[in-house]
Amino acid sequence: MIEQIREKARELLESGELDVVIGYAEGSDPTRTTPIFCRKPEDTDKLVLDGRCVNTLPAYLNKRHEYPKKGWKKTGIIGKGCDIRAITQLIAENQLKRDEVYIFGAECEGVVAHPEKWDGSLHEGNCASKCSACDVKIPLDTDFYPGEKPEVDRSGPYMVSAPALATLVKMDDEDRFAFWRDDFDRCFKCYACREVCPHCSCNICITDRTMPSWVDQAAHTKGVFGWHLTRAMHLVGRCTGCGECTRACPVNIQVDLFNQKMKEVIQESFDYKSGYSMEVKPPLITYNTDDQETYIR
Ligand code: SF4
Ligand code: SF4
Ligand code: SF4
């Protein structure tokens, strides 16, 4: 599978059709891979694709990053199904044009929850929770797919698979608030959760603005709650469930639980699943006169 992708990537870099191919290469130790930007055809020999490829590479396609500023006209990117969902959402939000990107996709068996859990294979004990209910193992839109792509029924509800979310939803308000207060006590506002997110797309994040200062910048309880609630609201109907915010958090806060719950709410309220259509806009960036207002109480 990866051999076919390497071959195609090499061919497109040689012909000049692509300026760069973003993929994964071996990392600093055998449990890790690292993102690689292949500029020369021979760089493609380094490409790998397996259960260690955890990073959500479409974060690099987000316009707040360096890549669009380099003047590259067309970027190739290797995507797992959930990554391609992120690309789909970036296109739906006009962050990216479809013809600026060439998508290499392949069937995905899942990824490890965290590199340190990699023991040479994927299994129940180390697989990321997002993979258990995944309906994009066969990816959506691809320009290159090794072999024939089977049809998949994706009409079901959005995957919301973290067992921790079910536990959280069952708690009463007081316990749930205590859960978040305890977790947020550890947050020191490093913003890793923002930096890895393919959909945090503002050039200057609202939390970094100081004139005026919208979100208290200190990492105390008020500042941290302000940051996380703002972040969660900015991603409503846009998060595509890659789980990178949680994986990247150095103090193990399950930041994406907010976003997972919001996905359920948006689907119930607007029949919308982020990352499944390049044409349909997220409900909170559009307006219809018959929109429900049941959330106003
Ligand atoms: S969520 Fe699906 S596409 Fe993404 S890594 Fe897991 S199995 Fe693969
Ligand atoms: S990555 Fe973790 S510690 Fe850093 S800002 Fe996000 S939640 Fe806080
Ligand atoms: S909010 Fe978290 S899970 Fe959602 S797209 Fe951003 S990084 Fe991924």
Lowest mean pLDDT among 16-30, 40-54, 176-190, 259-273: 259-273
Q: Is pLDDT at 3 greater than 90 in this prediction?
A: yes
Lowest mean pLDDT among 196-200, 248-252, 263-267: 263-267
Query: What local confidence, expressed as pLDDT, does residue 38 receive?
Result: 96
CA of 161 to the centre of ligand 1 (A): 12
Q: Is pLDDT at 173 greater than 70 in this prediction?
A: yes
Per-residue pLDDT tens digits for 278-293 = 999 988 888 878 777 7
Q: Is pLDDT at 36 greater than 70 in this prediction?
A: yes
Buried b (16+ CB within 10 A) or exposed e, 226-254: bbbeebbebbbbbbbbbbbbbbbbeeebb
Burial (0-12, 13-18, 19+ Cβ within 10 Å), 156? exposed
Query: What local confidence, expressed as pLDDT, does residue 162 receive?
Result: 65
Q: Name the closest ligand to CA 231.
A: 3
Which candidate, 31, 20, 26, places its Cα nearest to that of 60? Answer: 20
Query: What local confidence, expressed as pLDDT, does residue 66 receive?
Result: 66
Per-residue pLDDT tens digits for 204-256 = 888 888 888 888 888 888 899 999 999 999 999 999 999 999 999 999 999 99
Ligand 3 proximal residues by C-beta, below 6 Å: 196-199, 235, 239-245, 256, 259
Question: What pTM value is reported for the model?
Answer: 0.93
In angstroms and rounded to an integer, the radius of gyration of the C-alpha atoms of the chain is 19
Average confidence (pLDDT) over 35-57: 96
Testing ligand 1's pocket by substitution, the residue of 124, 137, 260 carrying the most ligand atoms inside 8 A of its CB is: 137
Query: What local confidence, expressed as pLDDT, does residue 269 receive?
Result: 85
Taking the CA atoms of 5, 124, 245 and 86 in sequence, report the sign of the dihedral they define.
Answer: positive
Q: Is pLDDT at 10 greater than 80 in this prediction?
A: yes
Which candidate, 129, 80, 147, places its Cα nearest to that of 108? Answer: 80
Per-residue pLDDT tens digits for 103-112 = 999 999 999 9
Among residues of the chain, what percentage have pLDDT more than 90?
Answer: 64
Which band of pLDDT confidence, cut at 50, 70 and 90, is reported for residue 141?
very high
Query: What local confidence, expressed as pLDDT, does residue 159 receive?
Result: 65
CA of 244 to the centre of ligand 3 (A): 6
Average confidence (pLDDT) over 142-155: 88
Q: Is pLDDT at 122 greater than 90 in this prediction?
A: yes
Where in 27-128 does DSSP place strands (E)? 33-38, 75-79, 101-105
Give the Cα-Cα-Cα angle 279, 266, 132 (nearest 5 degrees).
90
Q: Which residue has the higher pLDDT, 70 or 49?
A: 49
- Ligand 1 atom at minimal distance to the Cα of residue 109: 7
DSSP-based three-state secondary structure for 64 = coil
DSSP-based three-state secondary structure for 75 = strand
Q: What is the mean pLDDT of the chain?
A: 90
- The Cα-based distances of 110 to 64, 76, 81 in angstroms read 28, 21, 10
Average confidence (pLDDT) over 171-175: 94
Residues 117, 256: Cα–Cα separation, whole Å: 20
